[in-house]
Amino acid sequence: MKELLWLVPALPFLGALTLIIAGGNLKRGAVPFVGAGSVGLSALVSLLIGIDFLSGSQAPFEQHLWTWFDVDGFAPQVALYLDSLSLVFIFVITFVGFLIHVYSAEFMHDDEGYARFFTFLNLFVGSMLMLVLANNLVLLYLGWEGVGLCSYLLIGFWYQEEKNGYAARKAFIITRVGDTAMAIGLFMLFRTFATLNIQDILSQAPGVWQVGSEAAVAVGLLLLGGAVGKSAQLPLQSWLPDAMAGPSPVSALIHAATMVTAGVYLISRMFTIFELAPVAQMWVGIIGALTLLISGFSALTQYDLKRILAYSTISQIGYMFLALGVGAFSSAIFHFMIHAFFKALLFLGAGAVILLLHHEHDIFRMGGLRKKLPVIYWTFLIGAGSLAALPFVTGGFYSKDQILWFAYAGEKGNMWFLVAAMAGAFITALYTFRMVFVTFFGTEKTHVAHHAGKAMTIPLVVLAILSTVGGFIELPHTMGHIQLFSDYLKPVLPAISLKDGIESSEWIIQLIAGGLSLSGVYIAYYLYVQSPKTVDRIKISISALHGYWFSGWGFDDLYNFLFVKPFLWLSRANKADVVDKAYDGVVVSTDYFHRGFAWTQSGIMRWYMMGIVIGTILVVTLSLIYY
Amino acid sequence: MNTIPVEAGLILAGILFMLGLISVLVRRNIIFMLISVEIMLNAAGLAFITAGAKWMQADGQIMFIFILTMAAAEVSVGLALILQIYHQLKTLDGDAANKMKG
């Protein structure tokens, strides 16, 4: 079964190729069969491989397809590497991706670019699979850039509107900043190890670099730069909220299965480097903690349903980075998986609400949808509960609780991480249920046009189930102590080591975390259902801060001021191009001399004779003087 | 025998040469320009003769014979050109033949 591994990325690529070649001629009904079918088959293949892998020895499996190129001993292979880490990723990518494809079949049905949309989606999934299955960093980088390209194409999918094109370019350019850092990191790795094969690097690194050596820290920070760009973390997070310009299924795909989790994958895949560079790893945690806080505050103030979810994604990936930063790699991957389920669910639910309300994005113009759209309401509520980490019944509780615990109890954890994560958990619950209460409770403000079909509701139900049961495969010590997930990842990612004698306090942290998320829900209920006037009062009393949060802490303005304005000024100042001046000078002087010499060719013979006479006198005089 | 000093011959040759040159430059009638060129040639010939007399050499006179031959050839070519210019331009003004200005 494992020999079929190549089919997993090949099928979506094949689907994309079919749609590129035949897309225009295919019947409308056939497009989703190719688009969703290819990813569905890929999901099926990865399920079979997964069963084979789990029932077997769980030893890593490498499939060598061909040598990509061979230059002076540097020969990256097109080879796939399957271990428990990449298996989790291909499972999530193909399954969540498949559900999103099915959903898109109905969601995008009336769109002109139906075939184009599925082409890009397939390409997106294929690139992401390439990224997580690559056995060397060059192939990984290919997938990495492929994902970036597809995100550009999909965010700007409705390209007739100028602001969508702008958002697409913004996403592309900002992630490119991180990619440049990552590329430099790869060059440094190659110079040290003379190979970019991931497993070779990981096995050689401890022998070459001391713990905390400068080279390891530099490489770690550069890789972190790449991860920060792709995963929309501080300070490169500002592209993600604008990426909401794309259709909702795209947002679901970017936020749940592909793209933003690439950074988490990269760091956990290269974990040895980060273990050798404690400074870099500490920065992973600090960036995660800061990001989860600032984007949480921004999410509190948004009124566009999709922007709230966008900021929540940044915040949740901040949690994953925090977990990676304290060395709780399996917790990060666990949270990634649960997050993929509930965030895809939330985005698909939000997309359905927006579509059924004639593209209304403002949650304050929704309201009262609880009765009108029961399926969407209940599934959205389950997703929101998971995002807010409601105790015991949701998957999100178990995955986030683990991160909270390790943020404090892990050897690299500390009190500050815990406080940030706790505050983040409270804010998460608050903004999540603010969104739920405003959207689904109260009075109906916009009429529901029609109801969602089966292709849209079934993925929602499946994802709702997954985001609930998914959490029960890993239960904390205090409740059942099931460790299926971390045991499963143990061969690849090291288990976290705890501080001494701390285990007894785990229940306190769980209690506080549960209490915080419940109080967040209650405060949201109090503010947005019971006494909405209080909110307005608070809003007015902190209006400056509110505006600041609303604009994402002013990062856009800052970058506008720091980079965009100087760049525009420079390009305006240099409109005539300084370099061109030298070449212009050649032209001007040639022209000048041309005019001068042409003037001497007057055609009047007496002038020529005069010239000859003067020349002769000059030559004779000079020769008399110098000889 | 009373000889004329070399300087006098050379000064005469120089004056003749300058007269020819100046009239070539200032005259516009091409026939006069041709005549002026002849004067310059003869000035050069006089300079050769004077030099040959000074050093008692026959070379100067031989050179003058060459110059005479050359002048005859030059006049024939020059007169032919003048005829052609007159045919083409219906004038003897040398400045009118300025069709080849750059």
pLDDT in tens, A10-28: 888 888 888 888 867 777 7
Banded model confidence at residue B66, pLDDT cuts 50, 70, 90: very high
A530 and A602 co-located in one domain: no
A412 and A424 co-located in one domain: yes
Q: Say what the pLDDT of residue A189 is.
A: 87
A556/A531 Cα distance (integer angstroms): 33
Among A21-35, A50-64, A166-180, A583-597, top mean pLDDT goes to A583-597
Is A233 a domain residue? no
A432 and A397 co-located in one domain: yes
Q: Number of structural domains, chain A?
A: 3
| Rounded average pLDDT over A408-429 | 83
Q: Say what the pLDDT of residue A490 is.
A: 75
Nearest CA in chain B to A613: B21
CB contact under 8 A, A609 and B25: yes
A481 and A547 co-located in one domain: no
Q: Say what the pLDDT of residue A543 is.
A: 74
For residue B99, give the 3-state DSSP assignment: coil
Q: Can you name the residues that pair with A71 across neighbouring β-strands?
A: A74
Banded model confidence at residue A621, pLDDT cuts 50, 70, 90: very high
The shortest C-alpha distance from B2 to chain A (Å) reads: 33
In 3D, which of B38, B35, B58, B34 has the Cα closest to residue B48? B58
Contacting residues of A for B28, CB less than 8 Å apart? 606
Is A320 a domain residue? no
Q: Say what the pLDDT of residue B102 is.
A: 61
Q: Which fold has domain B30-89?
A: Helix Hairpins (1.10.287)
Banded model confidence at residue A480, pLDDT cuts 50, 70, 90: low
Query: Is A241 exposed, middle or buried, given 0-12, 13-18 or 19+ CB atoms closer than 10 A?
Result: buried
Contacting residues of B for A602, CB less than 8 Å apart? 98, 101-102
DSSP letters, A431-457, are: HHHHHHHHHHSS---S---S---HHHH
Is A500 a domain residue? yes
B46 has a pLDDT exceeding 90: yes
Contacting residues of A for B102, CB less than 8 Å apart? 597-603
Is A434 a domain residue? yes
A534 and A462 co-located in one domain: yes
Average pLDDT, chain A: 84
Listed by start position, the domains of chain B span: 30-89
Q: Say what the pLDDT of residue B65 is.
A: 94
Domain containing residue A550: 543-575
A361 and A402 co-located in one domain: yes
Is A138 a domain residue? no
Mark which residues 584-613 of A lie under 8 Å from B by CB: 597-606, 609-610, 613
Banded model confidence at residue B70, pLDDT cuts 50, 70, 90: very high
CB contact under 8 A, B102 and A609: no
A508 and A457 co-located in one domain: yes
Is A108 a domain residue? no
A537 and A552 co-located in one domain: no
CA A388 and chain centroid, separation: 21
For A398, other C-beta atoms within 10 Å of its C-beta total 26
ipTM score here?
0.83
CB contact under 8 A, B101 and A604: yes
DSSP letters, A195-216, are: --BHHHHHHHHHHHS-TT-HHH
| Rounded average pLDDT over A500-522 | 80
Banded model confidence at residue A602, pLDDT cuts 50, 70, 90: confident
A442 and A481 co-located in one domain: yes
A452 and A520 co-located in one domain: yes
Is A183 a domain residue? no
CB contact under 8 A, B102 and A610: no
Tens of pLDDT along A449-464? Answer: 677 777 778 888 888 8
Q: Say what the pLDDT of residue A431 is.
A: 87
Is A346 a domain residue? yes
Angle A285-A518-A248 (CA atoms, 0-180°, nearest 5)?
A: 65
Banded model confidence at residue B1, pLDDT cuts 50, 70, 90: low
A291 has a pLDDT exceeding 80: yes
